[in-house]
């Protein structure tokens, strides 16, 4: 397996040149979406836990 360090560093530099800091509204929207996603995953996990303890346990 051959490592292409120079090519990898150039790709990182290209990404950093394009990247920008999000404004306040974009950050808040992203935080809300991530929070809702975590809640959904948590609720699904809790529901599976309840089902496994009530019907199997």
Answer whether residue 1 shows pLDDT above 80: no
pLDDT at 55 over 80: yes
The reply to whether the predicted model has a pTM over 0.75 is no
The chain-wide mean pLDDT, for the chain, equals 93
pLDDT digits (tens, 9 = 90+) for 22-40: 999 999 999 999 999 999 9
Extents of the domains making up the chain:
23-57
Q: Rounding to the nearest 10 degrees, give the CA dihedral for residues 28, 30, 35, 36.
A: 110
- pLDDT of 38 reads 98
Q: How far apart are CA 24 and CA 35, in angstroms?
A: 16
């Amino acid at each position: 397996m051959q490592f292409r360090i120079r090519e990898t560093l150039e790709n990182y530099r290209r990404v950093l040149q394009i990247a920008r800091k999000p404004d306040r509204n974009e950050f808040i929207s992203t935080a809300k979406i991530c929070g809702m996603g975590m809640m959904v995953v948590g609720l699904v996990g809790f529901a599976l836990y309840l089902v496994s303890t009530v019907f199997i346990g």
